[in-house]
Amino acid sequence: MTRPQPLPTLLGALVLLAGIVAFVRSSPPPLAPPPQVPLVAAPASPFEATLVGVTATGEVRETVSLQSYPEPGAQLAATLRALRAWLRDEGGWPEALGAPRVFLPVPTHAVLDFPLSAPPDLSAEAEAQLIASLRRTAARQGVREVTLLVNGRAPATFLGHVALADALELPPDGVQRGE
């Protein structure tokens, strides 16, 4: 049997070791970072809104400057949030009734979905005044028809006193949402 020659074996081992060291020490080419896409909201644009509060003695109007985004219904949603703040200060909007989500099936028809956390302590007259305030404020934004929902449903009465339409009829072209 022949013995392996030490020099060629040593050289082979050194070449193999150099290859392993070169492989381990080498780094793969750096990956390009993923493209950065900034998430920038469309700029808000100011607009003037007229809030209409209906009381037992008549109608009270207040003009406010608000910020809104261009989504359908966003301007009406901002207006109704301002109406809620104004009427809550005056005692005409119950604490348990949140600001509505606004849907616009067509520009002249708004569906307002109010979150209600508990039955409000509100008289029938105050409830009728609140509904009139909502409808008249929406009318100032060009909305001719308003459908009221409570917690996503069309109830028989709005907050326990004033009867609402029996069925919710939406246009066939779908609902556009704005908040």
Residues with Cβ < 8 Å from 18, sequence gap 6 or more? none
pLDDT (0 to 100) of residue 179 = 46
Rg (CA), the chain: 33
pLDDT (0 to 100) of residue 135 = 92
Q: Residue 7: which H helix or E strand, with range? A: helix 6-25
On whether the CB atoms of residues 161 and 127 are closer than 8 A, the answer is yes
Per-residue pLDDT of the chain (179 residues; tens, 9 = 90+): 567 677 777 888 888 888 888 877 777 777 777 777 676 666 667 888 888 888 888 888 888 888 877 777 888 999 999 999 998 888 888 999 999 999 988 888 999 999 998 888 888 888 889 899 999 999 998 899 999 998 988 888 887 777 776 444 545 544 544 44
pLDDT (0 to 100) of residue 144 = 92
pLDDT (0 to 100) of residue 167 = 43
Check the CA dihedral 23-29-33-35 and report its sign: negative
pLDDT (0 to 100) of residue 15 = 86
pLDDT (0 to 100) of residue 81 = 93
On whether the CB atoms of residues 134 and 146 are closer than 8 A, the answer is yes
Q: Give the count of alpha carbons within 13 A of 92, CB side only.
A: 22
pLDDT (0 to 100) of residue 143 = 92
**Amino acid letter, 95:** E
pLDDT (0 to 100) of residue 158 = 82
Q: Where are the beta strands (DSSP E) in the chain?
A: 45-55, 58-68, 101-106, 109-114, 145-150, 176-178
In the 8-state DSSP scheme, what is residue 97? Answer: B
pLDDT (0 to 100) of residue 1 = 59
Instruction: Quote the CA–CA distance of 147 and 168 in Å, as a whole number.
Output: 7
pLDDT (0 to 100) of residue 30 = 74
Q: Is 99 left (phi over 0), alpha (psi -120 to 50) or beta?
A: beta
Chain mean position to CA 169: 23
